[in-house]
Amino acid sequence: MKVIIEHCEPVLSTWLLLEYKYASKLIGKRNLIFSNVKNLAKGKLQRIGTTFSESITKLPFKKAELIVLDPKARKPLKASDLKSNPILVVGGILGEAIPLGRTHEFITKKIRNVKARNLGKAQFSIDGAILVAKLIEGGKKLSEIKARLNPEIKIRKNHSIQLGYAVPVIGKKLKITPGLIKYLKKDIVKDELKLIGGENPWQ
C-alpha cells in the first residue's frame, strides 16, 4: 500500500513529526510520499519518505489511482477498495476535539470526483488512520478493528492527559504513536518550569 500525506499544518511540530515517522515505519519509506512540503520541513521528511513541494491537488496522479481518507466521506473503507493497489491520501492534519472537516476542504473538494472513504465515526491520528487502513488491506473489516475513543494517558501519579481522538487497539495494547508519551511528559515539565522560573509580575 502506498500513501500520500498532504502536509497541511503551517509548522512541522514535534508531535506531527512523531506521527509521520510512525507512518513511515508502518508502510516503509519507499511507500510513503509527502506532498505540499515547503523548504523548512523538506530536509526532515526526506529521511522518512519522498517529498513534493506541490499539493496532491496539483500533482499528476490519476484520480482513479487515489482514495482520500476523509471523515466526511459517505462510504467506509473496505478491503475491496484496496485490491487494485490504489494510493491512499491522508491529510497531514493534527485533529481538533471537534473535527473541522479540513481534509474535505483542503483535499477532497479540490480533486473533482475523487474516490473518498471514511474510517467510521471515530477520528484517528494520521498514523492511526494508516494503521487502520493497513489492517483493512490485510482483510479486516472496519467493524472488527478495535479502538479506544479519547483514551486517558497517565503522565504522572496525579496527572493524566486525554487524547482527543481514537487509538487503534491490537490485542489488548493501545497503538499510541511511539515517543508521544515521552514527548508529552517533557512538554508538561517545560510548562511547569516556565511557571516556576518566569518573571514575577508583582515586582
- Asked, for residue 31, whether it belongs to a domain, the answer is yes
CATH number of the domain where residue 63 is located: 3.40.1280.30
Question: Residue 101, by phi and psi: left (phi above 0), alpha (psi -120 to 50) or beta?
Answer: left
Domain membership of residue 95 as a residue range:
2-143
| Confidence (pLDDT) at 188 | 65
In tens digits, the chain (203 residues) has pLDDT values of: 999 999 999 999 999 999 999 999 999 999 999 999 987 889 999 999 999 999 999 999 999 899 999 999 999 999 999 998 899 999 998 866 566 788 999 999 999 899 999 999 989 999 999 999 999 999 999 999 999 999 988 877 778 888 989 999 999 899 999 999 999 888 765 554 444 444 433 33
Total tally of structural domains belonging to the chain = 1
- Asked, for residue 44, whether it belongs to a domain, the answer is yes
What cell was used for 184?
Answer: 508529552
> Considering only CA atoms, which of 119, 115, 124, 103 is closest in space to residue 5?
103
- Asked, for residue 73, whether it belongs to a domain, the answer is yes
- Asked, for residue 112, whether it belongs to a domain, the answer is yes
- Asked, for residue 106, whether it belongs to a domain, the answer is yes
Q: Cβ of 165: how many Cβ atoms within 10 Å? A: 20
- Asked, for residue 36, whether it belongs to a domain, the answer is yes
> Considering only CA atoms, which of 152, 200, 146, 135 is closest in space to residue 171?
146
- Asked, for residue 119, whether it belongs to a domain, the answer is yes
- Asked, for residue 58, whether it belongs to a domain, the answer is yes
| Confidence (pLDDT) at 191 | 52
